[in-house]
């Protein structure tokens, strides 16, 4: 997975915020990339299979360095779909969870997203068979990241630029401050971000919907 640095967007943006220091632009680009990934779920990643251990409920995500999981797209165990549920749902249906005692164990039915570093399986896995969890997840960069997956950033670059510019241009009392221009970029960010989210949901490999009239007999 090739990485593209956030600093590569500076040259395209500098003319819109003349005088803005490069570190400030990079910071806003990173923040924008995180927000765009959260809103569009455009950065999708197939996580390596994770082998479950009997009685153990918590597992760390296995994702690229500099990233964290924002959402679970799909999950399956041994070819059977596992549904992502809230912790409240889990406790409503498994009052003793996460009690790992043998009587509380079973075939994993759900996962719950506890924090950016950990997910839990429900109920605790038993030892009847070997369980492997396969997932597709939506990623986002960490606040300390200097870049992200090149193909994803290439795809969302325009959205990220509009998001970053709208925030840079409203920094008060700077030579580049321009609230009118910021409003323009905010509108472009909203429009293009919604389009990118819709395209992610539909999938670029799908054709547009068409209507065909059946001939009369």
| Tens digits of residue pLDDT in 38-71 | 999 999 999 999 999 999 999 999 999 999 999 9
* Residues 130, 132, 133: CA angle, nearest 5 degrees: 150
Distance of CA 140 to the CA centre of its chain: 5
Q: At what angle do helices 179-202 and 150-168 cross, to 10 degrees?
A: 150
- Look-up of token digits 């990934």: 37
Rounded CA separation 188/40 (Å): 15
Domain residue ranges in the chain: 3-41+142-191, 44-139
**What is the per-residue pLDDT across 144-199, written as a single tens digit (0 to 9) for each?**
999 999 999 999 999 999 999 999 999 999 999 999 999 999 999 999 988 888 87
- Helical spans, DSSP H, in 18-149: 22-40, 87-93
Q: Is the pLDDT of residue 217 over 50?
A: no
Specify the pairing of strand 83-84 against strand 110-115.
Answer: parallel
Q: What is the mean pLDDT of residues 200-204?
A: 68
User: Bigger pLDDT: 147 or 212?
Assistant: 147
List the one residue out of 5, 30, 29, 38 whose CA is nearest residue 200: 38
Q: Which residues contact 181 (CB under 8 A, 6 or more apart)?
A: 16, 165, 169
- State pTM to two decimals: 0.86
């Amino acid at each position: 997975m090739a990485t593209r640095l956030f600093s590569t967007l500076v040259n395209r943006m500098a003319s819109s915020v003349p005088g803005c220091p490069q570190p400030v632009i990079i910071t806003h680009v990173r923040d924008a990339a995180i927000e765009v990934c959260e809103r569009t779920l455009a950065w999708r990643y197939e996580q390596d299979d994770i082998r479950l251990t009997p009685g153990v409920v918590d597992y760390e995500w296995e994702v690229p360095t500099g990233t964290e999981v924002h959402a679970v797209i799909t999950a399956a165990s041994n070819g059977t779909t596992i549904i992502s549920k809230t912790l409240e749902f889990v406790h409503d249906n498994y009052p003793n969870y996460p009690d790992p005692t043998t009587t509380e164990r079973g075939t994993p039915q759900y996962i719950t997203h506890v924090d950016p570093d950990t997910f839990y399986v429900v109920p605790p896995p038993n030892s009847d068979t070997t369980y492997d969890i396969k997932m597709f997840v939506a990623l986002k960069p960490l606040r300390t990241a200097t870049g992200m997956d090149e193909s994803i950033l290439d795809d969302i670059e325009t959205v990220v630029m509009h998001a970053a510019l709208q925030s840079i241009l409203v920094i008060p009392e700077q030579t580049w401050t321009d609230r009118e221009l910021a409003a323009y970029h905010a509108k472009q960010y909203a429009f293009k971000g919604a389009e990118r989210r819709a395209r992610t949901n539909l999938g670029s490999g799908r054709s547009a919907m068409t209507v065909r009239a059946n001939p009369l007999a």
